[in-house]
């Protein structure tokens, strides 16, 4: 019971009496099929059930890596550091490994291509004081930024657990964050990955390289189908990005594992 309370303590928007925690040891097969240890959390809103695989890891905070772009976009819009999803920042001319990064970019393009330099430039416009203020208001992860306003989500200063990711994204999906409706609507738009009649999938990936033998991969988001919503967060260990071909080979495993888990719940 104590462990159940610890898990739900970070989900203040979900009534304790109405939320059930269900552990799924069978989800180990999804991670085994990708040869990648990890954890997954899915909040099924219709039943009030929090589905979890590897509860201890799900409560462990890791660097959000590029999944922080969701929060960064919210703060950038709310502070006016960026006008809207179409305002373009000029490319600095530095050629980077991802061809899509080597061009003028706006908020929506930066989210779609996970363009690091764009979100770093926006963070510098926001500034450390305002960034800290809004991360505190939102209650994102451990709220620790470190000394560099354009590096804290990449260098391990800021950390967030899979359970915390689910609560943050639930509040975004339902418009309950302490931000304007306009800001939240824009970010919901630019995180939309797939849409069909009665179906919407929102999400963001992340990849953290911390100098360890294994890197960390994230896929977080929410799925809406026929009036129901599932909010999810998954992270897994992946071979180092320094290994030639590692990202191209292993990056798809994050979303594939999440889709497999959502399918097991009948969401897909």
What distance in Å separates the CA atoms of residue 217 and residue 173, rounded to the nearest whole number?
Answer: 22
How remote is the C-alpha of 146 from its chain's centroid?
20
Q: Give the number of other Cβ atoms within 10 Å of residue 125's Cβ.
A: 16
Q: Are 122 and 76 in contact (CB under 8 A)?
A: yes
Helix, strand, coil percentages in the chain from 3-state DSSP, rounded to 5: 40, 25, 35
CA distances in angstroms from 255 to 99, 202, 205, 216, 233, listed in the order given: 22, 12, 8, 13, 10
Q: What are phi and psi of 211, to 5 degrees?
A: 80, 10
Structure tokens at 109: 């393009």
Catalytic residue status for 66: yes
Name the active-site residue from 63, 66, 114, 161.
Answer: 66
* Residues with catalytic roles: 66
């Amino acid at each position: 019971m104590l462990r159940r309370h610890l898990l739900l303590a970070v989900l203040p928007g979900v009534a304790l009496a109405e939320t059930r925690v269900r552990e799924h040891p069978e989800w180990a097969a999804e991670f085994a099929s990708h040869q990648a240890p990890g954890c997954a959390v899915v909040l099924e809103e219709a039943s009030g059930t929090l589905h979890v695989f590897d509860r201890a890891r799900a409560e462990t905070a890791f660097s959000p890596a590029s999944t922080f772009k969701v929060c960064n976009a919210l703060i950038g819009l709310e502070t006016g550091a960026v006008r809207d999803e179409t305002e373009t920042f000029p490319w600095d001319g530095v050629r980077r490994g991802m061809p899509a990064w080597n061009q003028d970019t706006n908020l929506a393009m930066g989210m779609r291509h996970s363009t690091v330099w764009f979100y770093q430039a926006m963070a510098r416009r926001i500034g450390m004081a305002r960034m800290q203020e809004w991360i505190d208001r939102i209650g994102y992860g451990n709220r620790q930024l470190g000394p560099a306003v354009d590096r804290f989500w990449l260098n391990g200063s800021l950390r967030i657990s899979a359970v915390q990711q689910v609560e943050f994204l639930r509040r975004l999906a339902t418009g309950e964050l302490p931000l304007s409706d306009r800001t939240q609507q824009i970010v919901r738009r630019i995180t939309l990955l797939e849409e069909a009649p009665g179906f919407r999938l929102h999400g963001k990936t992340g990849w953290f390289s911390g100098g360890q033998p294994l890197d960390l991969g994230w896929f977080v988001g929410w799925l809406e189908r026929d009036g129901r919503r599932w909010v999810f967060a998954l992270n897994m260990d992946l071979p180092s990005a320094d290994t030639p071909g590692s990202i191209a080979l292993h990056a798809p495993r994050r979303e594939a594992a999440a889709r497999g888990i959502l399918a097991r719940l009948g969401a897909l």
